[in-house]
Amino acid sequence: MAVNEQDVEQIVKQILSTMGAAPSTSASVGGQGAIPKTAHVAVLTSLKHFDIKEYPIPEVGDDDILVKVEGCGVCGTDAHEYKNDPFSLIPVALGHEGTGEIVKLGKNVKKDSAGKEVKVGDKIVTCMIFKDNPDITMFDLNKQNVGGADVYGLLPDDDCHLNGWFADYILIRGALGSTFFNVSDLDLDSRILIEPCAVLIHAVERAKTTGILRFNSRVAVQGCGPIGLICIAILRTMGIENITAVDGNEQRLAFAKRLGASKTVNFMEHKGIEALTAAVEASFDGHLADFAFQCTGNPGAHSNVYKFIRNGGGLCELGFFINGGDATINPHFDLCSKEITLVGSWVYTLRDYATTFDFLRRAKGIGLPMSELITHRFPLEQINEALETNLAMKGLKIAIVNK
């Protein structure tokens, strides 16, 4: 039967009339069924103990996003909060290395923080929550690191409760000044690694400001946990090939080579700083490092790293996210007479997130095994076991991955 244009128009009008005034938000979960009325959230209720609590999913406002959580990495910050509550947040919903799928979108949310369009079904990550920071109106956002903002997963508990990525749903609220990015082109493992990778992108960008870190630099990376390993991978994607990894764990050192280190030094095999420095020097064929990254958070390691660096060299310290204690150096011999250029690095900026997406694509393109950084995956109900695994330093990156 032939159908003319007027018939088609009439049919469309009839369908629209039966729909009524449809809201601008979706009530489906990526085509997999209706959104439940409640969400499960892992709440740290006391030291070293999460409870899985069930809360009503609140209304999604015009500027909000409801996300079905797919996974979230366990950060050292989560472990610190789990063990000691240094931020005095208990009870708190943790998890800030998360990612998931948009299942409901407020009518005012059209684009992400980079201007990329978003829709139901897209995969996103969150970055900073700017809240009431007066500096935001005075300075370029790209120069404001997360130290002047908040993040989901480190927020005080409130009536919403869906504040952290250790959950099956999270509510991204526009009223808080949330920032987020559409990363639908990245696989789940890459998306889980975005936040820690952004920390290292920021560190490398800080290192570049010294003018010392170059294509042909000899670079020492001290500490081969996830942070140090990601640092090596970023340096490798930049074309830097002369990289020595320093750690006391042979498994981690072996993986450092797979991510781009040319040489490794196991500090357990060298007694005293002079012997350790000689081993680092030997790894560079009789030269000290042009530049070093200190990624351990250990005060003794910070004291040692100056010895690995040549006169006129550079150092980026990024290992201390919280107060890890005092480090002892000799200002004359370690810093002044060597004219070391030292930069500190702490978390990231919005622009670092955008750069991180490009890094992850490039790392995959040259065959770096980034996904293998995630060595343990736990369901949400085993979150206490996941944190204990992290504290026991088993594996590398621990992640909560929802079914």
pLDDT value of position 19: 35
Count each helix (H run) and each strand (E run) in the chain, helices first.
10, 16
Of 268, 342, 332, 270, the residue nearest 305 (C-alpha): 342
pLDDT value of position 1: 39
> Is it the case that residue 165 has pLDDT exceeding 90?
yes
| Interval 342-365 mean pLDDT | 94
Question: What percent of the chain stands above pLDDT 70?
Answer: 87
> Is it the case that residue 23 has pLDDT exceeding 80?
no
CA distance 341 to 338: 9
Domain contains 349: no
Read off the tokens for 123: 């995969």
Per the structure, the complete domain to which residue 329 belongs is given by 197-344
Burial of 216 (0-12, 13-18, 19+ CB in 10 A): exposed
CATH number, domain of 95, equals: 3.90.180.10
Domain contains 11: no
Pick the residue with more confidence: 379 or 2?
A: 379
CA distance 199 to 77: 13
Pick the residue with more confidence: 137 or 312?
A: 312
Indicate whether 173 and 210 sit together in one domain: no
Reduce the DSSP state of residue 203 to 3 states and report it.
helix
Indicate whether 71 and 164 sit together in one domain: yes
Domain contains 223: yes
pLDDT value of position 143: 65
Cα→Cα distances 373→169, 199, 227, Å: 25, 15, 10
Indicate whether 288 and 165 sit together in one domain: no
Question: Lowest mean pLDDT: which of 37-41, 85-89, 238-242, 397-401?
Answer: 85-89
- CA 30: distance to chain centroid? 25
Cα→Cα distances 282→41, 66, 218, 261, 285, Å: 51, 54, 12, 15, 5
> Is it the case that residue 136 has pLDDT exceeding 80?
no
Indicate whether 286 and 330 sit together in one domain: yes
Of 43, 89, 28, 97, the residue nearest 69 (C-alpha): 97
Domain contains 71: yes
Indicate whether 119 and 70 sit together in one domain: yes
> Is it the case that residue 30 has pLDDT exceeding 70?
no
Reduce the DSSP state of residue 12 to 3 states and report it.
helix
Quick one: pLDDT band at residue 31, thresholds 50, 70, 90?
Answer: very low
Pick the residue with more confidence: 28 or 38?
A: 38
Cα→Cα distances 37→34, 57, 270, Å: 9, 6, 59
Indicate whether 170 and 213 sit together in one domain: no
Indicate whether 216 and 334 sit together in one domain: yes
Pick the residue with more confidence: 131 or 259?
A: 259
Q: Which residues contact 349 (CB under 8 A, 6 or more apart)?
A: 141, 142, 143, 144, 145, 146, 202
CA distance 218 to 243: 6
- Convert the pLDDT of each residue in 277-302 to its tens digit: 999 999 999 999 999 999 999 999 99
Q: Check: CB of residue 95 under 8 Å from CB of residue 81.
A: no
CA distance 195 to 191: 8
Indicate whether 267 and 396 sit together in one domain: no
> Is it the case that residue 11 has pLDDT exceeding 70?
no
- Convert the pLDDT of each residue in 314-325 to its tens digit: 999 998 877 889
CA distance 310 to 340: 8
| Interval 206-226 mean pLDDT | 97
- Convert the pLDDT of each residue in 67-95 to its tens digit: 999 999 999 999 999 999 988 999 999 99
| Interval 101-129 mean pLDDT | 96
Q: What is the dihedral sign for C-alpha 20, 25, 30, 35?
A: negative
Read off the tokens for 90: 């208990």
Indicate whether 238 and 334 sit together in one domain: yes
Question: What percent of the chain stands above pLDDT 90?
Answer: 81
Count of the separate structural domains present in the chain: 2
Indicate whether 284 and 262 sit together in one domain: yes
Q: Mean pLDDT, the chain, as a whole number? A: 90
Indicate whether 47 and 154 sit together in one domain: yes
| Interval 90-110 mean pLDDT | 97
Q: Check: CB of residue 38 under 8 Å from CB of residue 54.
A: yes
| Interval 15-37 mean pLDDT | 51
pLDDT value of position 356: 97
pLDDT value of position 149: 79
- Convert the pLDDT of each residue in 186-197 to its tens digit: 999 999 999 999
Of 27, 120, 110, 108, the residue nearest 62 (C-alpha): 108
Q: Model pTM? A: 0.89
Read off the tokens for 11: 């049919």
Indicate whether 56 and 181 sit together in one domain: yes
Quick one: pLDDT band at residue 26, thresholds 50, 70, 90?
Answer: very low
Domain contains 15: no
Quick one: pLDDT band at residue 350, thresholds 50, 70, 90?
Answer: confident
Domain contains 32: no
pLDDT value of position 20: 37
Domain contains 359: no
Domain contains 134: yes
